[in-house]
Structure 1
Amino acid sequence: MPTMTVLATTAVPDHVRGALTRWMIEPTPGLYVGTLSARVRTELWAVVSASIGPGAAVLIHPEANEQGFTLHTAGDRRRTPLDFDGLTLIAFRPQDEQPPPLGPADH
């Protein structure tokens, strides 16, 4: 069953933006919204996360959990999702600090 999906990108290659606009609308630069099946969402995320380069991306879609959604991240970013007993919270790292290793919320 298709569900609402939101994908936010920063500094991704043009070919990635083109792939995303085939399936989603871009209401503002770098923000993509669409109603996608799980299969299409998974394939698009595979393309984005494999081609992220120096950019960053966050994918949010509905999930059967306490928050009602899940998020996936790719690329270097200051905000890092952390899993606390099934609840995803966002931690900030200082700008001059190296990014932490990928946690369980990173897929």
Structure 2
Amino acid sequence: MPSMTILSATAVPDHVRGALTRWMIEPTPGLYVGTISARVRNELWSTIRASIGPGAATLIHPANNEQGFELHTAGDRRRIPVDFDGLTLMDFRAPENHDVPESH
């Protein structure tokens, strides 16, 4: 059964953007919204995960859980979803930078 799906993507290749716009609308750059089946959603997500590289992507779709949705992320610049007693929270870790000198 098709369901509302939201996908946000940053720095994805043009061929991936083309695949996304075949199934979803792009109301603002990098934000895709559509009512698609789970099969199409999974195929699109597999394509994005395989080609995201230095970008970031977030997929949100309905699910039968406490929050009513599932959240997935991919890419080097992504935020990490963490399960906290059945609730999905986002991990905001600063990127490690070994070139910054220590302050005294």
TM superposition score normalised by structure 1: 0.86
Give runs of ≥4 in structure 1 deviating > 2 Å: 95-98
Partner of 1:43: 43
Q: Deviations over 1:22-70 (max 9, x none)?
A: 0000000000000000000011101011111111100000000000000
Read off the aligned partner of 1:32 and give its amino acid letter. Answer: Y
Checking the alignment, whether the CA contact within 8 Å between 2:54 and 2:77 is kept in structure 1 is no
Checking the alignment, whether the CA contact within 8 Å between 1:67 and 1:87 is kept in structure 2 is yes
Residues 3 and 77 of structure 1: CA distance in aligned 2, closer, same or farther (over 3 Å): same
Checking the alignment, whether the CA contact within 8 Å between 2:20 and 2:44 is kept in structure 1 is yes
Structure 1 residue matching 2:21: 3-state secondary structure: helix
Partner of 2:5: 5
Structure 1 residue matching 2:26: 3-state secondary structure: strand
- RMSD over aligned Cα, in angstroms? 1.5
The residue correspondences of 1:62-77 to structure 2 (distance < 5 A) are 62-77=62-77
The residue correspondences of 1:52-67 to structure 2 (distance < 5 A) are 52-67=52-67
Q: State the identity as a percent.
A: 77
Aligned residues between the structures: 98
TM superposition score normalised by structure 2: 0.88
Unaligned runs of 5+ in 1: 99-107
CA distance in 2 between counterparts of 1:60 and 1:97 reads: 30
Structure 2 residue matching 1:88: 3-state secondary structure: strand
Structure 2 residue matching 1:53: 3-state secondary structure: coil
Unaligned runs of 5+ in 2: 99-104
Larger radius of gyration: 2
